Amino acid sequence: MVKNSIIDGIIVVNKPRGLTSFDVVSRIRRVVGQKRVGHAGTLDPNVDGVLVIALGKATKLIDELQARPKRYIGSITLGFATETEDLDGEIIAQQAIEKPYTDEAIDNAIVQLNGDIKQIAPMFSAVKVNGKRLYEYARAGEVIERPVRDAFIYDYHRTSPITYQNAQQQFDFVAKVSKGTYIRTLAVDTGRQLGVPATMTSLTRIMGSGMSIDQATDLQDILVLERESLLKLIIPIKDILTWPTKELSDDEWFAVKNGQKISEWAIIDDSAYLQLTYHGDLKAVYAYNNEKSLWQSRYVFTNES
């Protein structure tokens, strides 16, 4: 790679607490020396863990990366609730737990939240209603009807003994969730199942966009790397995608680079997507349109031969 050339690919960052996701993007922009940088899935400032940063042409894949399941570990405290559903907000409800809930009761509440669920968007979130983000209404003290979102919880279960102290109960958990899950709200929903206020008191993302915490590098380490060392951390686009690959002929490449739709190709491995290479280089991704029974452009990475 030519020195200071544009970097295309992703870098998996272990985000520290205290920074926004945009803070991380801003710092990565400076260290790589390019503006085309984005992140795949926001982490709140008080949440640490996996934040996938897309560089260059990989920013085209952010929607695909965000659609992949995420996995979190954390802790939930029963007995109080906050306006932000985590420790950042003011306490809005408290209920002393005089008789501790049994392991069975708490585990049953957790079981009820596996599978398809509906969640109400937190007031302190970036969800837009009538052109304004919910946190803007919240900061102005306005009450507004919040949207309900569908989510899928692949696996949510307790991972520690349940402690009881100061009329509160706390336990650790792991949760693998779909795109669109309000992970903070999972604590609130758990409390609701039990009839008690609850708060997410600790949270770490250990997997996001198919990348695990083992693949992540601490942000502070990334920021001091020389360029050649930094490039070794970049995962190229061809290694991000899992769809079948098709090597294009000269005629097919001509059609693809001109954005033409194609009806002759067969579906491979039941996948509705095809990675298209020419002379071994990834050029584009085509998606199958069932209604029209043809392939059409989904992502274009380059039109150059």
Asked if 146 and 231 sit in the same domain, the reply is: no
Asked if 229 and 260 sit in the same domain, the reply is: no
Dihedral angle sign, alpha carbons of residues 28, 32, 34, 38: negative
pLDDT in tens, the chain (305 residues): 445 689 999 999 999 999 999 999 999 999 999 999 999 988 988 899 999 999 999 999 999 999 999 999 999 999 999 988 999 889 999 999 999 999 999 999 999 999 999 998 777 766 787 787 777 877 788 777 877 889 999 999 999 999 999 999 999 999 999 998 999 999 999 999 999 999 999 999 999 999 999 999 999 999 999 999 999 999 999 899 999 999 999 999 999 999 999 999 999 999 999 999 999 999 999 999 999 999 999 999 998 87
| Bridge partners, 164 (sequence order) | 169
Which pLDDT belongs to residue 140? Answer: 80
Q: What angle do CA 92, 97, 100 make, to 5 degrees?
A: 140
Separation between Cα atoms, residue 141 and residue 184, nearest integer Å: 21
What are the helix and strand counts (H, E) for the chain?
9, 19
Separation between Cα atoms, residue 174 and residue 171, nearest integer Å: 10
Asked if 151 and 249 sit in the same domain, the reply is: no
Residue-number span of the structural domain to which 284 is assigned? 243-300
Q: How many CB atoms lie within 10 A of CB 115?
A: 11
Asked if 50 and 161 sit in the same domain, the reply is: no
Q: In residues, how long is the chain?
A: 305
Asked if 99 and 158 sit in the same domain, the reply is: yes
Q: Is 210 helix (H, G, I), strand (E, B) or coil?
A: coil
CB 299, CB 284: distance < 8 Å:
yes
User: How many domains in the chain?
Assistant: 3
Phi–psi pair at 11, nearest 5 degrees: -130, 135
Q: Is 195 helix (H, G, I), strand (E, B) or coil?
A: coil
Alpha helices in 112-231 (DSSP H): 134-139, 183-194, 219-222, 227-231
CB 148, CB 117: distance < 8 Å:
no
Looking at 144, 178, 204, which one is the last position of a domain?
204
Which pLDDT belongs to residue 141? Answer: 80
Q: Is 190 helix (H, G, I), strand (E, B) or coil?
A: helix
Which pLDDT belongs to residue 4? Answer: 64
Asked if 155 and 200 sit in the same domain, the reply is: yes
Alpha-carbon distances of 155 from 80, 175, 180, 185, 275, rounded to whole Å: 25, 5, 15, 15, 30
Asked if 64 and 81 sit in the same domain, the reply is: no
Separation between Cα atoms, residue 131 and residue 160, nearest integer Å: 42
Asked if 229 and 120 sit in the same domain, the reply is: no
First to last CA, the chain: 17
Asked if 156 and 136 sit in the same domain, the reply is: yes
The DSSP code for 85 is: S
| Bridge partners, 29 (sequence order) | none
Separation between Cα atoms, residue 26 and residue 8, nearest integer Å: 17
Asked if 182 and 76 sit in the same domain, the reply is: yes
Tell me the CATH number at 159: 3.30.2350.10
Asked if 192 and 233 sit in the same domain, the reply is: no
Which pLDDT belongs to residue 144? Answer: 79
- Residues forming the active site: 44
Q: 51-88 b/e with 16+ CB inside 10 Å = b?
A: bbbbbbbbbbbbebbbebbbbbbbbbbbbbbbebbbee
The DSSP code for 29 is: H
| Bridge partners, 121 (sequence order) | none
Separation between Cα atoms, residue 43 and residue 215, nearest integer Å: 17
| Bridge partners, 71 (sequence order) | 176, 207
Which pLDDT belongs to residue 128? Answer: 80
